[in-house]
Amino acid sequence: MLSPYRVIDLSDERGLACGAVLADLGADVVQVEPPGGSRARRHGPFLKDEPNPERSLYWLAYARNKRSVELDLDDPAGRETLLRLASGADFLIESQGPAAMAAWGLGYEDLSAHNPALVYVSITPFGPDGPKADYEATELIVHAASGAMSRNGEPDRAPLRAGGISAWAYAGLEAAGAALVAHWERVRSGRGQRVDVSALLSTNLAAAFVLLATRTGGSRETRAGGGLRLGPIDSPFIWEAADGFVSLTLMFSGPAAPFFARFLAWMQEEGSLDAEDAERDWAAAIGRVVAGQEDASQFTGFIERIAAFLRARTKEELLGESIARSLLLVPVSTVADVYRSPQLAARDYWRAHEHPDLGVALPYPGPFAKLSRTPLAYRRPAPRVGEHGAEILAEPARRPVFSGGRPGSEGAPLAGLKVLDFMWVMAGPHATRVLADYGATVVKIESASPLDLVRVLPPFYGGVPGPENSASFGSLNAGKLSLSLDLRNPRSHPVVHDLVRWADLVCESFSSQAMTKLGLDYESLRAIKPDLIMLSSCLFGQTGPLASMAGYGTMGAAIAGLVQPTGWPDRAPCGPFGPYTDWLAPRLTVPTLLAALDHRRRTGQGQHIDQAQAESALHFMTPALLDYAANGRVIDRVANTDPQMMPHGAWPCAGDDEWVVIAVRDDDDWGHLCQTMGLADDPRFATLTGRREHADEIDTAIAAWTQARGPAESEQALQDAGLPAHAVTHSAGDPQLDGHFIAAPHPLRGTDEVESSRYRLSRSSARVRRAGPTIGQDTDAVLREMLGYEEERIESLRAFGALGPEGT
């Protein structure tokens, strides 16, 4: 899809995934490496545990489909060669930071003077400006600063990072979408621009609106150990099975209620639950407990009976019953389970890459989406250092695809793009929110029955629950129009057909076959619009034995191996908080959609995109998957420890549940830590091995220092000493986040606070036109102004129940 375009990639491990996505989408990505190879090659794990630049599994994971050239940018000749390559490129990616690039004479202003059409992507930990722009950072620091870490873990222990999930992968995959947003503005204007992506804001998406809650009347949420806390009640999502763990979504009302009722009926069939408990209104009972009208003892006993029922059965048995009975129950997979998945085998997911120089063939995660016309191809394995240097340098000078501006043609990058949006809950709406931010007209189809689950999820504006009060919904769907249709009513279908004719892009995130049953599947709709691009995004994809399974991102995270690595070695996994695949999959949805649109712009060809959110999420786990394939190592729970850094974790500070994270990268960092904390220069701790052997003693010494200080004071003292450290953020008061939360118009409250875009374009700022709509807020306006319907037809549709009530 992106085969006409050339990408120059100067990034290290902090941005490597960006080029990987663009390469998978077809671009020619040239990885520029310093002498001896990229720093990313020193990032473990390693093939056969042998540290070597050619054996880094992190490198193999995210340098696929690229070519490599070795250049010394400290040498004038190397910089001259880079300038020549960049002058003919369409995109450039860097993660060295603005100061380093400017010192080389390779900053955006320098390169754009030679190539005005260049899209220049900068990936940094905290962004190019703000009080923390120059902070020392590792992935642990980013996880803590983002707010996501504050929700991971258990209330009686330290907060946890998400195990196996790279904060740099968050930033890199986000940057791929950002680059293509800027590209679409270039299609109009002929000009490039600078794109700034921070790992901080990219990873903040996984905080599940915890920071927004502190600005909208919500209270601070504490860690719930992989479940939900409802007042005094802990409702777990992770349960022990006979041979491991499973994820059972216990939600007692709303769209999940029928699944819960079927699970209780099964327990009753098996004699594990009496009729009274099976038929009890548990949602009402919990409401009384939360209100203090009843004690929680009945619920505690109920949870114990569920736990005993699940412990008596294997993961395979439970999954089989879940498929047969339509339950919200899946295994918590290890990476070994993931490789053995019948679902992935049925979808022909894995791709074997030969590495002749290493003497191995490794199975890699396959396409992050299945495209009907332009399937993603893995053309080559990750390159050796400078493998293609002679080839690249011998190529004739290249001209960028776009050159020369078109005066007066600037505007929002996606202005004029029309999106028909059937997405709901979180994963899909995150992606269409990005399109709306950058100018697309997004018409969201929804109904009061069934209600979009996010409308009843906290935080709530003013702390008052209600479908028009969810701050999560308001932020997630900012900038969109709401059209209320009852898709179960056949009289609504001609309206959908007219909307398809109007739209450039149709997106849906219902369970597999839902649109087919409605007669609104891709084959039916492309008969109406032959060049239609349609995205179908669901947990497990449109085919395979799990295709019919409905569910939430908590289940996708469990079955994709994302839950098992997060937790403490002596306890059950708690998983990263929330529906984790909902935070991961949209990073790949956006670049896939924009690449498909660019392909249609050039060829006139539409296509269907089948995105399995769990499959997309596996691309965040690629190094861990390769570690199992190459070394037989199953990534498991190690809390916050790191194989290459020590100490590395979270320590308590003065205050209520306040923490600071610290990452000691090497022996020099250890010396600085000792000086800052006044610790004795003990030779037992001088090396990584020694520090590991005496971890408990070191942990106690650090805790004594941090507990005498608040988290902000601890953070500042350690950063002043050149050490990676950060408070575990749990509110929106961090000055580095200034400007991320903005006021947007809302018809009921005047303005609502929502999150802004997670990246910045130098010439094309995101514009949040309004907060998320009320149900059906724009029904009549869309039908009149976009489809040209007369009032008589609109009222007829409403009278026959095809439309929902008029919105506010």
* pLDDT at residue 759, as a whole number: 95
Q: What amino acid occupies position 367?
A: P
pLDDT(83) > 70: yes
Last residue of some domain: 689, 709, 727?
727
Note the pLDDT tens digit of each residue in 724-774: 999 999 988 899 999 999 999 999 999 999 999 999 999 999 999 999 999
Question: How far apart, in whole angstroms, are the C-alpha atoms of residue 568 and residue 239?
Answer: 15
Q: Please, what sign has the CA dihedral across residues 147, 149, 153, 158?
A: negative
Question: How far apart, in whole angstroms, are the C-alpha atoms of residue 253 and residue 250?
Answer: 9
Mean pLDDT of the 65-88 span? 98
Give domain status of residue 695, yes or no: yes
Give domain status of residue 320, yes or no: yes
More confident residue, 333 or 228: 333
Give domain status of residue 720, yes or no: yes
pLDDT(784) > 60: yes
CB atoms within 10 A of CB 793: 15
Note the pLDDT tens digit of each residue in 635-694: 999 999 999 999 999 999 999 999 999 999 999 999 999 999 999 889 999 999 999 999
Residue 290 CB-half CA count within 13 A: 13
The rounded radius of gyration (Å) of the Cα atoms in the chain is: 26
Last residue of some domain: 703, 727, 751?
727
CB atoms within 10 A of CB 785: 10
pLDDT(547) > 70: yes
More confident residue, 409 or 26: 26
Give domain status of residue 707, yes or no: yes
Give domain status of residue 559, yes or no: no
pTM: 0.96
Note the pLDDT tens digit of each residue in 332-349: 999 999 999 999 999 999
Query: Which band of pLDDT confidence, cut at 50, 70 and 90, is reported for residue 409?
Result: low
* pLDDT at residue 218, as a whole number: 72
* pLDDT at residue 643, as a whole number: 92
Last residue of some domain: 709, 727, 745?
727
**Residue percentage of the chain with pLDDT more than 90:** 85
* pLDDT at residue 742, as a whole number: 95
* pLDDT at residue 805, as a whole number: 66
Residue written as token pair 């004690």:
295
Q: Please identify which of the residues 452, 504, 582, 778 carries the catalytic annotation.
A: 582
Query: Which band of pLDDT confidence, cut at 50, 70 and 90, is reported for residue 808?
Result: low
Note the pLDDT tens digit of each residue in 501-538: 999 999 999 989 899 999 999 999 999 999 999 999 99
Nearest to 490 by CA among 807, 804, 800: 800
Residue written as token pair 């469990």:
558
Note the pLDDT tens digit of each residue in 348-383: 999 999 898 888 999 999 999 999 999 998 899 999
699 classed as catalytic: no
Mean pLDDT of the 310-328 span? 97
CB atoms within 10 A of CB 100: 14
CATH of the domain at 662: 3.30.1540.10
CB 198 within 8 A of CB 129: no
The DSSP result for 331-362, as a single string, is: E---HHHHHT-HHHHHTT--EEEEETTTTEEE
Count of domains for the chain? 2
* pLDDT at residue 405, as a whole number: 63
Give domain status of residue 270, yes or no: yes
Pick from 260-274, 280-294, 450-464 the range whose average pLDDT is largest: 260-274
Note the pLDDT tens digit of each residue in 161-186: 999 998 999 999 999 999 999 999 99
Q: What is the mean pLDDT of the chain?
A: 94
Question: How far apart, in whole angstroms, are the C-alpha atoms of residue 99 and residue 253?
Answer: 53
Give domain status of residue 307, yes or no: yes
- Beta strand pairing call for 533-538 and 607-612: parallel
Query: Which band of pLDDT confidence, cut at 50, 70 and 90, is reported for residue 399?
Result: very high
| The two three-digit tokens of residue 538, written as one number | 């669901």
Give domain status of residue 367, yes or no: no
Note the pLDDT tens digit of each residue in 126-149: 999 999 999 999 999 999 999 999
3-state SS, one letter per residue, for 710-721: CHHHHHHHHHHC
CB 125 within 8 A of CB 724: no
Q: Which domain holds residue 287?
A: 250-327
Note the pLDDT tens digit of each residue in 28-58: 999 999 999 999 999 999 999 999 999 999 9
Mean pLDDT of the 432-447 span? 97
* pLDDT at residue 407, as a whole number: 58
List, in order, residues 6 or more apart from 594 with CB less than 8 Å away: 177, 180, 181, 183, 184
